[in-house]
Each structure stands twice: as structure tokens, then as C-alpha cells.
A and B are shown apart, each in its own frame.
Chain A
């Protein structure tokens, strides 16, 4: 029997009241794909990510994970990094990272004490070194730069070794230089952990640089009388080889200008 794709999207549509946001989404994503998602603002790419997270449910169609319908609520098998509010502001850097093991080890208080906590903190030491936050282990997120916060957020999202990592414009608020470092870190982690990644981005260069597959969301059908009658769908589904980092000139003209959509 053929193994089902990691993620199967079957004729999914999403409607908010009278507004059809997404329609006719059909996709099979193989395990280990780095899937980047681009498109104009408001075309539903974040909504698509929210559906993959089970934070919103599609109003039509179904999404399957390993051949089984998605659970109705967020689960540890799908990690998430948001653009903002991704880390817990009331916990220090290291306590943000031991939180998942605290949840697992202590059902009643959700907290480790004394020796057990020291052990858990020692275990995240390596992760902290890896993301360059070891010197900031005792600091609160508000005392970190934007790039440091997002490094922490990515590390935290990977704690439960999710099969799928969802990223919603994770580097959207970062400086270009820091962005580059973050992209490298993300690629390394993706290769090591053999995850399937879905990443929504505004930055078309980033989408080409990181993705092994790129989805472009756009509206193809327009009704001049009822502009809300049709939703966006996937207009381009590109299989990218590793190492393609520039959009071909012809493609570049077809794609939405990232600067215009910010």
C-alpha cells in the first residue's frame, strides 16, 4: 500500500460570513518538505497556517495528517512560531525552555522544584549554547532583542520534536542581517530534525532561498459586482531544488511585490 502524504489538503475552503477567503485548495505535501507560502496581504495564507494548526477549522473540505484527519485542537506534534507573542514573558529564557518537560513531568503543578529543576535547566544548556542565548539564560524575554526572542521561540517550538513546524512570518520584524543568520539556523535545524516545515513569509527572496517547495496564494477569479464571492487559492505550486535562491525573472514579475504588501 502506498504511504499517505505527510499532509493532505483536500478541497479546503474557508468562509468568514459572506467573505470567501480560501477556496479549492488541494495539496499533497511529502514528509521533510520545506514549504514556503507567499502571497499578497489578506489572501488567506495565515488562515491556511491557522488551519494546519487546528486553531481554526476549514468551513469546507478536510486536512489530513498521515492519512488521518487533523485533531480539533493544537497538539504537540505541530510546533508553532508566531511573529510576536511566541515566548512566555513571565519566564526567563531557560525557564521558557524547560516548560515542556515540566508539563510532561508534573501533571498537577506543571512545575519542577529543587534538584529536578536544576537537572532540567542543565539539560537545556546545550540548546542555549546552540542558539547563542547561554549568556542570557536568566533574562526575561522583554530584555532580549527581537532576533534573540525569535531564536528562543524557534528553540521552544522544537522542544517536543514536532513532525511539523509552522512558522507565521517569524522573521518579519527583524533586521535583514539578523534575518540571514536566523534563516541559516532554521535550515540547519530543519535538516537535523527531518521535519516538515510550513513557513508563511512576505519576503519572496526568503521563500525561494529556504523552500524546497513554494506555494503562491492569490485570487484568480474576480466578480466585479461581488468582489467577495471568490476566494484566493494556490496559483503557483513550485518544486524548488536546493540551492535555487533567486526567482527567475519571468516569475518575479508575476509574483506580488513584497514591498507593496507590507
Chain B
């Protein structure tokens, strides 16, 4: 049988999926082993055991100086910023996206502006944000909003415009007002696309979060990584990177599950990643 027609069984699929991860871990362990044969105090590729014990103490042993659990505090601070930023961006995307996609006059007046605004590299306005909002929480959240909202607005607007015209005409012949069409037709039709937009927006959101924390912060996952970089503490950095990746992965999967549960009609046809 041709290879395009062969699909792996559920078990094979899981094993195949785990394979690249296993390969990465094994090759790291080998490289780390040989480096430490040369120099037992090597800091660049610490052993898996060392990383595990450092991560354990970051997570479950209170910091000697402050008495805080560092991993928990960093994670909560970062997630709060991420949530506030992406949440605000989602709200903006919903309101502006529907208005732009549904009402031609608003589209004419706002679409070119949003398109231009979305091309500003967000990091370049970080200094402006620091000057306006100071070095506190607001500037970090605003950076995430500025970095993610324009693209999300555009993808929501596009989703609205992709609603078949026939459905909108049908709603008109059933006596719907513009507001009723918005609440009963446009909103439910684009909510699954909004979730997709959030999932895609989370990728740059994490980048802006870590960047802002690296530059000016006193807590957070990005702050911690850039702090311990000074001591070449790869045994902290690598587990933190894996932890951040795991958080990002879990949030992404969670949103996908929410979408499948809430909008079965949207996922009725075909596979999706």
C-alpha cells in the first residue's frame, strides 16, 4: 500500500509522537555525559539529575532569602500578565473584528489603520510604553496587547467576512436586526475562529511577555531566566524553558478542547491540528 494511505494505529501514533522527544533527551544525556567526563564541574550541559534536583528546589523549597516558592511566584506573575494581555487583546479583537468585518463603513475607516498598526514591530514601542506607563505591570500587559491584538482583529474580521453571504441574507429574510444578526449569527459563527486566533496570538504573546520581563521586572519566568544567566545557571534555565513550553502547550490544548466541546458543529468535518 502507498505510504499516504497507511495510517498508524492509536498506539503506534503515540509512540511515533514520543520518538523525537526521546531522541532529544537521549542525545542531550550523551552530550552532557561526555562533557562532564572532561570537566565534572561543567555548567553548560548539567546532568538530567542535577536539573531535576534544582527544579525541585525551585518548586518546593522556600527561598532562603524571601521565604517564597520561586517557581510558583514566577509562574503566577507571568500567567497573570499573559492572561491580562491576551484577554484584553481578545476583547478588542472581538469588538473591532466584528465591527470591521460586518459593517462596510467601519471597515473602510478602520481596516487600513489596523493593517498599518499591525506592522509596527511591538518591541520598538516598548521604550515608549516604559516612558508612559513606567516599569510596572501595565507596560508589560500593554506590550502583549499591542503585539497580539492587531493580528487577532484582522483574523476575526476575516472570519466575519467569510461567513457565507447566503446566511446573512437568510437572517434578513427572517426579520433579524443588525444587532440580532451580530448576537445570533456572527458571534456564534466566529467564536471558534476567535479561539483559533487566541491560540495563534499566544505564540507572540509569550515572546513579548518574556522580553518585557527580561528587560524590566522583579519577578516572572522571563525575569528568572535572564537573572540566573549571569551565573551560567543552565540547571535553572533549561528546566524553566521546558516549564514555559509545557505551560504554553497546556494552554493551547485546553483552548482546543474548549473549542471542540463548545462548538461541535464547527469541528464536525475533518481533522485539525
Contact = CB atoms under 8 A, between A and B. Distances in A.
Contact of A82 (B166, B174, B181): B166
Interface string B211-225: 000000000000000
Contacts of B80: none
Range class of the B interface residue count = 20 to 34
B241 interface: no
- Classify chain A: how many residues form its interface, as a range: 35 or more
Interface stretch (A7-15, A96-104, A237-245): A96-104
Contact of B167 (A85, A110, A142, A157): A85
A75 B185 CA distance: 17
A157 B173 contact: yes
A242 B263 CA distance: 47
A198 to B, nearest CB: 14
Max chain B Cβ within 10 angstroms of own Cβ: one of A89, A141, A160:
A89
Nearest to B265: A140
B175 A76 contact: yes
A156 interface: yes
Interface string A168-188: 000000000000000000000
B266 interface: yes
B65 interface: no
A76 B173 contact: yes
Interface string A193-211: 0000000000000000000
Interface string B238-273: 000000000000000000000000011110110000
Interface in B160-213: 164-167, 169-177, 179-181, 183-185, 188-189
Contacts of B268: 140, 142-143
A224 interface: no
B76 to A, nearest CB: 36
B173 A160 contact: yes
Given A80-B169, A80-B170, A160-B174, A110 B265 contact: no
Contacts of B263: 90
Interface in A67-114: 73-76, 78-80, 82, 84-90, 99-100, 102-104, 107-111
Contact of A110 (B169, B170, B183, B266): B183
Interface in A107-143: 107-111, 140-143
A79 B264 CA distance: 29
A128 B177 CA distance: 26
Contacts of A84: 164, 166
A103 B184 CA distance: 9
Interface in A20-50: none
A79 B175 CA distance: 10
A187 B179 CA distance: 35
A55 B169 CA distance: 8
A157 B183 CA distance: 20
B180 A103 contact: yes
B265 A90 contact: yes
A26 B181 CA distance: 35
Contacts of A99: 171, 174, 184
B169 to A, nearest CB: 5
Contact of A162 (B173, B181, B269): B173
B184 A111 contact: yes
A156 B174 contact: yes
Top 7 closest A-B pairs, CB basis? A110-B180, A85-B164, A85-B166, A74-B172, A142-B268, A100-B174, A140-B265
Interface of B: 164-167, 169-177, 179-181, 183-185, 188-189, 263-266, 268-269
Given A110-B176, A111-B183, 20 more contacts: A73-B172, A74-B169, A74-B172, A75-B172, A75-B173, A80-B173, A84-B166, A86-B166, A90-B263, A90-B266, A99-B184, A103-B174, A103-B177, A103-B180, A103-B184, A110-B184, A141-B265, A142-B268, A156-B170, A160-B174
Interface of A: 53, 55, 73-76, 78-80, 82, 84-90, 99-100, 102-104, 107-111, 140-143, 156-157, 159-160, 162
13 contacts: A53-B173, A74-B169, A79-B173, A89-B266, A90-B263, A99-B171, A99-B184, A107-B177, A110-B184, A143-B268, A156-B170, A156-B174, A162-B173
